[in-house]
């Protein structure tokens, strides 16, 4: 099994910053609330899957 290391946590931090900035950028540039909400939920669900993946790497080492 793959173990999680410091670079992986750094990647998670960078990834979360990217998510927040893209959500903000999208909501500022979009007048359509429904599309920005959809965009946000897609990105957040991707991030949750990313976290779960790393969580299993931690627990299954």
10-residue block means of pLDDT along the chain (61 residues)?
A: 59 77 68 67 78 66 49
At residue 1, the pLDDT reads 45
The total number of structural domains that make up the chain:
1
Residue 23, C-beta contacts closer than 8 angstroms, at least 6 positions apart = 36, 39, 40, 43
Residue 43 domain-assigned?
yes
Range of the domain at 45: 29-61
* Cα gap 19→47, rounded to integer Å: 8
What is the rounded CA–CA span in Å between residue 30 and residue 45? 20
Residue 54 lies in a domain: yes
Residue 15 lies in a domain: no
Question: Which pLDDT value is given to residue 28?
Answer: 62
Closest by CA position to 26, among listed 15, 14, 41: 41
Alpha-carbon distance of 36 to 55, in angstroms, equals 28
36, part of any domain: yes
């Amino acid at each position: 099994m793959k173990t999680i290391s410091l670079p992986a946590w750094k990647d998670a931090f960078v990834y979360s910053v990217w998510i927040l900035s893209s959500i903000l950028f999208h909501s500022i540039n979009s007048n359509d609330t429904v599309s920005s909400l959809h965009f946000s939920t897609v990105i957040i669900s991707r991030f949750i899957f990313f976290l779960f993946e790393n969580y299993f790497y931690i627990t299954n080492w």
